[in-house]
Chain A
């Protein structure tokens, strides 16, 4: 491991990090913080791109990863010193593991990937560097917004729509937790992100996806993620798919059939919407039931829906 003493610092005069007392939110900095920041500021002031500067950026990021220009400084050093980019991504991995909620790390990583892209012929080789990190981080926190967002960036950048790897990944995550909305959202991007609404889409392909989604709904009929996903498919391809066709499926989870296994709020809501055109009384009755019995916390919202029935 490289340590501070491995470098020569005698020629550097550290710059003060802040006034002795700030009139607002005075932070009681530790001596270590003052030392690292003082040297980092001095090096940044003289725009030094060196090994010791490279070292100090790591130190700063470890104690204050929200520092937004240290990332730019590090990137400039990596470019000037022609650092090994694969090793730089390895370094990013470790920082990401320790700073799950950090905003700066991801655009930095994407900048490095874009540099690496120019050197590498194969996108697969590049992606091989990304998957282990993403897999581990999503395993640790299956709904980490930053990590899913980075995965979205990869799908769009490298056109990974409907690739086996991405589809299997979302399958695994949904099988693990059918209520993982991040996984459903990612699946929608992977399946349909590059397709315009109402453009031609293979009907068989859509049918398979609808069957899969219905199976997942049946596993957990009170899961808004899968219901929203199902309706999104119908809305996106409304020229070839009719939302009314979902009625028979949805009513299975409502009081409208005898002995329903479970009453689902989402199924009731969809059924009420479908009946809006054909049978307003039935819609009204469902909103009433939601309001009084199944979902009273949203009673004002359900009565708003009910009132709208007669306004249009």
Chain B
């Protein structure tokens, strides 16, 4: 049972290099592809993967800063949104259709952090970014994904955006307890997250929605980022629900040992991370069968041909999200040769 590290390095290198035209539709998610690929490479922590990260590092950092809006409020998801691209820059640019996006802002911060950009705190305006984030918070405590020029937040909203807001806040405040001119409403946010707790113990994307392991991680991680202590005694039902996500397959099919994200669904690589990561937040990751999940990831979804990991045994093509989350899982489980993961900032230690 071994990890084909050199194939994985090549796979992530390919993702960071050039993508075929079918990735056009993912253009707005490009920073996510960069983030997951870098995370994967750094978890693999060998000489080759470090070289790939470091080559033309300055140029890459500058390219990320191109996504930072002239008004310093946050980052855009792609240069496709820059309506003044290759034109004289106007720092008062306030076009309604070139606005900061929560996910893009977090991915940019994480990427700059992983590139060890030393000037990050000089170049970014912490207060303006937190002002943008706090304006994305809605009346019920949740967050929307974008902020319009009229100061009204818009776009999709679920627990992912709560975690994004909390992680941005944590990265910007660094180690010290920084206070921001405009901060989010922490109490309202905590209440909202608790409202998302479902009758079965998991959390859904919004109140009364079906429990989902990915969204459960987002909710729990948000609480942790807000400084809440996750006491296992108070979360018995959630821990139970999480442990039940590991699949004991009667027929001995490919699902065995893997994790699903909801009741009666099939195994999927990413849920091994969302569940084990959630349990890790309680220091309860020993409750699942570690041997079987390692076996599932290494023998079922590790892609021996192109490197990386696939979503399920049926999917033949790897993708950066599932590939790096598989490595995150293995890292939490202490798989040899992998760097440690900081669950708070979701970057390698």
Point out residues on A near B: beta carbons under 8 Å: 15-19, 22-30, 33, 37, 41, 44-45, 47, 63-73, 76, 103-104, 106-107, 143, 145, 148-149, 152, 156, 179-182, 185-186, 188-189, 193, 223-225, 228-229, 232, 235-236, 295-301, 304
Measured in the bound complex, the distance between the Cα atoms of B145 and A106 in whole Å is 13
CB of B85 within 8 Å of the partner chain: yes
Query: What residues of A have a CB within 8 angstroms of the CB of B98 in the complex?
Result: 44, 69
A37 touches B80 (CB 8 A): yes
Closest chain A residue, CB of each to CB of B286: A300
**Interface membership of B33, Cβ < 8 A:** yes
Contact A66 B25 (CB under 8 A): yes
Q: Find residues 14-30 in chain B having any chain A CB closer than 8 Å to their own CB.
A: 15-21, 23-30
Contact call B21/A33, Cβ cutoff below 8 A:
yes
Question: Main SS of the interface on chain A?
Answer: helix
Q: Are A28 and B18 in contact (CB under 8 A)?
A: yes
How many residue pairs, one in A and one in B, have C-beta atoms under 8 Å apart? 193
Q: Which of A73, A193, A223, A229 contacts B97 (CB 8 A)?
A: A73
Distance in angstroms between the alpha carbons of A235 and B24 in the assembled complex: 48
**A298, B246: Cβ atoms under 8 Å?**
yes
The secondary structure that dominates the B interface is loop
Q: Does B314 contact A (CB under 8 A)?
A: no
Known: A63-B24, A297-B292. A232 touches B210 (CB 8 A): no
Give complex CA distance A29, B37 in Å.
20
Give the interface centre of A66, A69, A148, A296 by most chain B CB atoms within 10 Å.
A69
Min CB distance, A68 to chain B, in Å? Answer: 6
Sample of 25 A–B contacts (CB below 8 Å):
A15-B87, A19-B86, A22-B79, A25-B15, A25-B19, A25-B33, A26-B18, A27-B23, A27-B26, A33-B21, A45-B83, A45-B95, A45-B97, A63-B24, A66-B26, A67-B80, A68-B77, A69-B98, A72-B146, A106-B156, A152-B209, A185-B209, A185-B210, A225-B264, A304-B287
Contact indicator A69/B81 (Cβ below 8 Å):
yes
Q: Please report the C-alpha to C-alpha distance between residue A301 and residue B240 in the assembled complex, in whole angstroms.
A: 8
Q: Please tell me if the beta carbons of A44 and B18 are within 8 angstroms of each other in the complex.
A: no
CB distance from A242 to the nearest CB of B (A): 18
